[in-house]
Structure 1
Amino acid sequence: MLHTSTLLPALIKLIAWTALSSLVASTSAYANCENTDIKPGLQQLFSKSWGIEYSGERFQSSANTSINADNASTLSLKWAYGLSTDQPRSYPLVTEDTLFIGDGGRGLVALDKETGCVRWENNSIKDISTSIISEQVDGRTLLIFSGRRSGVHAVDASTGDNVWSSVPKVHPVPLFSGSPLAYKDTIFVPISSLEIGLSANPFYGCCTTSGGMAALDVRTGELLWYRPTIEKAGSVITGKHYLFVEKRGPSGAPVWGAPMLDTQRDLLFFGSGQNYSLPASLTSDAIFAVHTKTGEIAWVKQFTADDTFNMACTISIDHPNCPSTMGPDVDFGAPPLLTQRLSGQDILIAGQKSGDVYGINPNTGQTIWSTRFGRGGPLGGVHWGIAANPELGLAFIPISDIPAFPSDVPQAPGLYAIDVKDGSLRWSVEREASCQERSCWTGLSAAITAGPNIVVAGAMDGILEIYRADNGEKLWSYNTKTEYDAVNGLPTKGGTLDAHGPMLAGNLLIVSSGYGSFQQEAGNALLVFSTAQEQTP
């Protein structure tokens, strides 16, 4: 899963944005926010996980959102907040009066939901890359999230004070990209590896690590168990180059996406990525089911074999660290989801970067049906996340199909609605590309969100749209690629819509616009839209 970015340009951008943010904050940032109450309300939470519910359906019911097919067309911009990064990678947690989100190089911020004014901010963790989730621990609410390199963190939601930080010692170079999930006394943390990028160095011996799923104690961050995707990563010496650089494998199979929790079966479901080096393993490009108490595997099902790829291959297929039998890089970056067929039977649905979508028996891992949309490739196919509406028996599949490797299969960027019982197509919206460049490509890479008879999707060309869930009719559209007068005074503009995607909460629609990775349109706008009527608890 290409959820990585070039480190040096990102560092330069981070320094520039941090300096600009500090300058503005010292002058006019809080001119209208002097009377903002620093204490957030914590009685009503609009999501339990990255997937809204533990099931991962990314479905917000009418109990938690008043935005629906009848009033979506009335949405208007309520306020914009200028983020301190042009690669926003955080997904908000919303309460009755507060929006918690990671603000790039600035840290974690608690924003007044009505005005966008800052209640409190925590400047100690500046690489937040996941959704913000919460858990009740000993009478207080903890905010839990991961930093890309800094590990997993717990912060007091009332004050912003640090409670604990943890870097699970599972291998030397962990990377935290997928959002954690908290349930009762345990936090489940997906882990990948920096070796995806380190492989670009020809003097680096690729590769020895694997991805996996860690379970931490919610009170302390202590590691309870770890399930690697490859039991003996790097155990085979496969050769040398430059006389002394040793090649090893199998490696890779990172876990890029959030896990999904089945509370009835006590199982976690998650997907794995491609192998980084030869030999290929049987657990790359696979869906795992593991027991929540122990991490023991209930079943694992591989969907694409021999997919071996790393960042060295983007430099040259002749790079000494690029596998000699390079794969297509079509891993599972998007989390699977658990939903029900209208008959009442559970079904696990997983979308792959190949463009394939699978209906899976959650008890056995057996494939019930499969279908394919578009061409697929290293940046999708299905890239960040699918959604489902259990009331309609539909799943919604965003297809990126960003230009990548040559292929005879036509690109088909757009949104597809399928019947969860058999994978059959119910409707589709194919988005026509205005150019072949990544900065204006019209595919859907970001995760999408479903609501009461609506689907909200953000495209790489910066267009945010809402469709009727039952027939695909477009109800509302907004071009986020513009400049904004931000409530915090920071110069603010929108760009590519990518990564975690939109959030529905009450009468609000929330999205981060601008994702400057992979030659896409950079921006730093946190946008909050609203309908006229507030959602009552």
Structure 2
Amino acid sequence: MAAQRLLGTGNSWCAAAAVLLGTAGLVRVVVAQPEPAAKVVTIAGLTDPAAMFAARCSSCHGPIPFAPTLAQLARLTAEEIEYALWHGTMMEFARDLDSGQRVMLARWIAELGTDKGDPRPGVESCRTNADSDPAPQSDWPGWSRDSRLTRSVDDDSLTAERVAGIRLRMALPLPVYSAFEGAANPVAVVGGRLFAANNNRWIYSLDPESGCAYWVFRSPGRVRSNVAVAPACVIFGDVHANGYALEASTGRLLWQARLDSSPGARVTGNVTLHQGVAYFPVSTHQELAGIQRDQTCCSFQGSVVAIDARNGLRRWKAATIDQPLRLVGRTPSGLNRYGPSGVPVWSGIAVDDRRGLLYVTTGNQFTEPQVPESDSVIAFDLRSGAKRWVASLAPEQMGGKDIYHLGCETWVDPARSNCSPENPRGVGDRDFGAPAMLVIRADGSEVVLAASKDAMLYALDPDTGRLQWQVRVGRGGELGGVQYGFSADRYYAYLPISDVDATDFKARGAIVAVDLRDGRIAWRTESGPGACENKATPPCSNAFLSPSTAAGEVVLAGSSDGVLHAFRKSDGREIWSFDSVREYRGPNGLTGTGGSFGFGGPVVVGRRIYVMSGHSYIGIGLPGNVLLSFEVP
């Protein structure tokens, strides 16, 4: 893809609504307006917001690590908090608060915060408008360099000797306007520009050399997805289940599309762009509702949505579960229970252009009856959304089923009264958080790979979904196995292992290489314990949650202790590391610190490596919000 094609409107399929606007001299700030908050209707019951918080919120916001504290919530605006109470993460928990109480509670929390000025993107404007790239063939346009999602760069110049001399070239701190500091979002580099979303709601188009901005866009909702880049536009999804397309050269909003209207629906996985269609994974926060013993859980069913990138119109929507929702019983408190529910899509979507298929990994069920799509790989027809095959991969030690929500935990309810009767032990959440990938092996054969939180790697026949081999690569668990992604070349898969114990947050992190011919473990490199010294434990651990990247002779991977590592492919020996947990002063004049590595793994473009540092999302990592750029000599 030529850089001129990206940065102009041309005749590309994403430019139907594009109109070029000048950008030189000023950072182009484009802001989309959020949905209006509900009007105050009445005030009944409690009228003291502090008492409301104590009664309805304090049991989670403080004692539970993955819920933000009151001080963290105070970073948000009253409008954001009110939206969460009406439509977002807290809608189920706030259902007995009337309109007036929600407004009062939101304002009280927001007013506890200080320095609530107008949110700024925290970057300087570029003085020139770049319009070309000397090596566009090295672009990294999405979750992966390729649409098969291998996260692999075949570059003989990236030798182990050279990689051992990597040096930091730039650190760009970004401002924090979120309850959790940083999410380590994925970045994309196309046409000489770096594109990134951020948990602070800003979308950035940056000069990767200087850190200046060509434009920024303020999203109505927070963004955990990647920013997928195609000719003339960038596309992403937000936590309100909206999809967006922006003009790549200006950041102007081209379209906004509602992907799913189910309560709690959101986009937390990564968008894939292919031949003029954007494929969005739809997940949910409804799994949290199981904490509430006085309400039913759940009604959400996952989906994949195909959107025409030219105009934002839906091509198709495919549900992960074929069975319709129905009444399946009652809770001990007499509430109706519905099922089958769950099976969200947490991750990205791999494309098989030759077969005309999309490969999607799925999450666990929330309620029964058991369905084959839970903890599975599903092959969808990329043109119609029809299911071609389903490989059911729920753990054997759990009877081949994974029916779970947070109400199944004994720390929520020792009796597990809200948990499915098909899961009396409350064991679960061993599903897929990492995307599947299509790999071309050294002998020319193709295989679909999928790695689970149960620490299993599966190799599947792309035509039928038949299991070719499987191998255990770790202990597994709710925070175990492979969390966000892995990489593979023609010979091996390189798996970052988290294996965090959800009870004490201690980890057995490792990088594991698996031979793609037969599933044999070629090598395993354990993560050392020393990097958490003088860092907060928890959440610091030696877990590898962040996706790995295979590049030349090395594998790059960031760990939860904030260290970026390079391992030699041949034997797994560590040849370079960089502890990102330090203070930086950026070219934008801001100071900030690095932290854990999270959703987005290292991006390799030519002799440059880009990655976001800082991932305290749901309290399982070290905070920070810094874009790091490294140079390979």
Superposition TM-score, scaled by structure 2 size: 0.76
User: Is the 8 Å Cα contact of residues 102 and 108 (structure 1) preserved in structure 2?
Assistant: yes
Shift of 1:186: 1.3
- Who is 2:190 aligned against? 95
Measure the CA separation in 1 of the matches of 2:116 and 2:511: 36
- Who is 2:528 aligned against? 432
- SS of 2:408's equivalent in the other structure is helix
- Who is 1:172 aligned against? 263
User: Is the 8 Å Cα contact of residues 140 and 603 (structure 2) preserved in structure 1?
Assistant: no
- SS of 1:197's equivalent in the other structure is helix
**Counterpart code for 1:493:** T
User: Is the 8 Å Cα contact of residues 241 and 282 (structure 2) preserved in structure 1?
Assistant: no
- Who is 2:74 aligned against? 12
Q: Say whether residues 1:294 and 2:384 are aligned partners.
A: yes
- SS of 1:74's equivalent in the other structure is coil
Q: Say whether residues 1:464 and 2:561 are aligned partners.
A: no
- SS of 2:288's equivalent in the other structure is helix
- Relative to 1, partners in 2 of residues 1:154 and 1:258: Cα closer, same or farther, differing over 3 Å? same
Q: Give CA deviations for 1:208-229 in whole Å, capped at 9, x if unaligned.
A: 1111211111112222211111
- Who is 1:485 aligned against? 585
Measure the CA separation in 2 of the matches of 1:239 and 1:40: 61
Q: Give CA deviations for 1:123-147 in whole Å, capped at 9, x if unaligned.
A: 24451211111223xxxx1101111
**Counterpart code for 1:402:** V
- Who is 1:104 aligned against? 199
Within a 5 Å distance, the mapping from 1:369-388 to structure 2 comes to 369-388=469-488
Measure the CA separation in 1 of the matches of 2:116 and 2:183: 15
- Relative to 1, partners in 2 of residues 1:99 and 1:20: Cα closer, same or farther, differing over 3 Å? farther
- Who is 2:239 aligned against? 148
- Relative to 1, partners in 2 of residues 1:103 and 1:332: Cα closer, same or farther, differing over 3 Å? closer
Q: Say whether residues 1:402 and 2:500 are aligned partners.
A: yes
- Relative to 1, partners in 2 of residues 1:14 and 1:448: Cα closer, same or farther, differing over 3 Å? farther
Shift of 1:498: 1.8
- Higher-strand-fraction structure: 1
Segment drifting more, 479-488 vs 77-86: 77-86
**Pairs aligned (count):** 514
- SS of 1:70's equivalent in the other structure is helix
Root-mean-square deviation (Å): 2.7
- Who is 1:417 aligned against? 513
- Who is 2:627 aligned against? 526
Q: Give CA deviations for 1:247-295 in whole Å, capped at 9, x if unaligned.
A: 1111101110101000110000011111112333221011101111111
Q: Give CA deviations for 1:483-530 in whole Å, capped at 9, x if unaligned.
A: 111222333101111222211112211111111133421111111111
**Counterpart code for 1:299:** W
**Counterpart code for 1:523:** G
Identity %: 27
- Who is 2:105 aligned against? none
- Higher-helix-fraction structure: 2
Within a 5 Å distance, the mapping from 1:193-208 to structure 2 comes to 193-208=284-299
Shift of 1:155: 0.4
Shift of 1:356: 0.7
Q: Say whether residues 1:367 and 2:462 are aligned partners.
A: no
Within a 5 Å distance, the mapping from 1:45-60 to structure 2 comes to 46-60=139-153
User: Is the 8 Å Cα contact of residues 241 and 258 (structure 2) preserved in structure 1?
Assistant: yes
User: Is the 8 Å Cα contact of residues 364 and 374 (structure 2) preserved in structure 1?
Assistant: yes
Alignment partner of 1:340 out of 411, 427, 440:
440
- Relative to 1, partners in 2 of residues 1:237 and 1:24: Cα closer, same or farther, differing over 3 Å? closer
Measure the CA separation in 2 of the matches of 1:503 and 1:421: 27
- Relative to 1, partners in 2 of residues 1:206 and 1:318: Cα closer, same or farther, differing over 3 Å? same
- Who is 1:271 aligned against? 361
- Relative to 1, partners in 2 of residues 1:149 and 1:8: Cα closer, same or farther, differing over 3 Å? farther
Q: Give CA deviations for 1:421-468 in whole Å, capped at 9, x if unaligned.
A: 111111111113357944221121111111111100001111100111
Measure the CA separation in 1 of the matches of 2:149 and 2:492: 14
Larger radius of gyration: 2
Measure the CA separation in 1 of the matches of 2:401 and 2:495: 25
Shift of 1:234: 2.8
- Who is 2:53 aligned against? none
Measure the CA separation in 2 of the matches of 1:21 and 1:170: 31
**Counterpart code for 2:427:** G
Q: Say whether residues 1:62 and 2:155 are aligned partners.
A: yes
- Relative to 1, partners in 2 of residues 1:126 and 1:212: Cα closer, same or farther, differing over 3 Å? closer
Measure the CA separation in 2 of the matches of 1:207 and 1:24: 35
- Who is 1:455 aligned against? 555
**Counterpart code for 2:459:** G
- Who is 2:211 aligned against? 116
Measure the CA separation in 2 of the matches of 1:11 and 1:505: 37
- Relative to 1, partners in 2 of residues 1:7 and 1:241: Cα closer, same or farther, differing over 3 Å? farther
Alignment partner of 2:574 out of 449, 474, 478:
474
Measure the CA separation in 2 of the matches of 1:363 and 1:67: 34
Within a 5 Å distance, the mapping from 1:22-33 to structure 2 comes to 33=124
- Relative to 1, partners in 2 of residues 1:404 and 1:172: Cα closer, same or farther, differing over 3 Å? closer
**Counterpart code for 2:629:** V
- SS of 1:396's equivalent in the other structure is strand
- Who is 2:319 aligned against? 228
- Who is 2:346 aligned against? 256
Shift of 1:99: 1.0
- Relative to 1, partners in 2 of residues 1:120 and 1:411: Cα closer, same or farther, differing over 3 Å? closer
**Counterpart code for 2:389:** W
User: Is the 8 Å Cα contact of residues 125 and 214 (structure 2) preserved in structure 1?
Assistant: no
**Counterpart code for 2:67:** T
- SS of 1:498's equivalent in the other structure is coil
**Counterpart code for 1:190:** P
- Relative to 1, partners in 2 of residues 1:249 and 1:42: Cα closer, same or farther, differing over 3 Å? farther
**Counterpart code for 2:630:** F
Measure the CA separation in 1 of the matches of 2:580 and 2:69: 27
Measure the CA separation in 2 of the matches of 1:145 and 1:116: 21
User: Is the 8 Å Cα contact of residues 148 and 350 (structure 2) preserved in structure 1?
Assistant: yes
- Relative to 1, partners in 2 of residues 1:275 and 1:24: Cα closer, same or farther, differing over 3 Å? closer
Q: Give CA deviations for 1:307-361 in whole Å, capped at 9, x if unaligned.
A: 1111233423535433341232110111111112222110111101111111111
- Relative to 1, partners in 2 of residues 1:321 and 1:8: Cα closer, same or farther, differing over 3 Å? farther
**Counterpart code for 1:331:** D
Segment drifting more, 172-181 vs 431-440: 431-440
User: Is the 8 Å Cα contact of residues 347 and 433 (structure 2) preserved in structure 1?
Assistant: yes
Measure the CA separation in 2 of the matches of 1:211 and 1:34: 40
Shift of 1:36: 2.4
- SS of 2:341's equivalent in the other structure is coil
Measure the CA separation in 1 of the matches of 2:481 and 2:125: 47
Shift of 1:300: 0.1
Superposition TM-score, scaled by structure 1 size: 0.89
Shift of 1:160: 0.7
Segment drifting more, 109-118 vs 254-263: 109-118
- SS of 1:477's equivalent in the other structure is strand
- Who is 1:182 aligned against? 273
Measure the CA separation in 1 of the matches of 2:266 and 2:374: 17
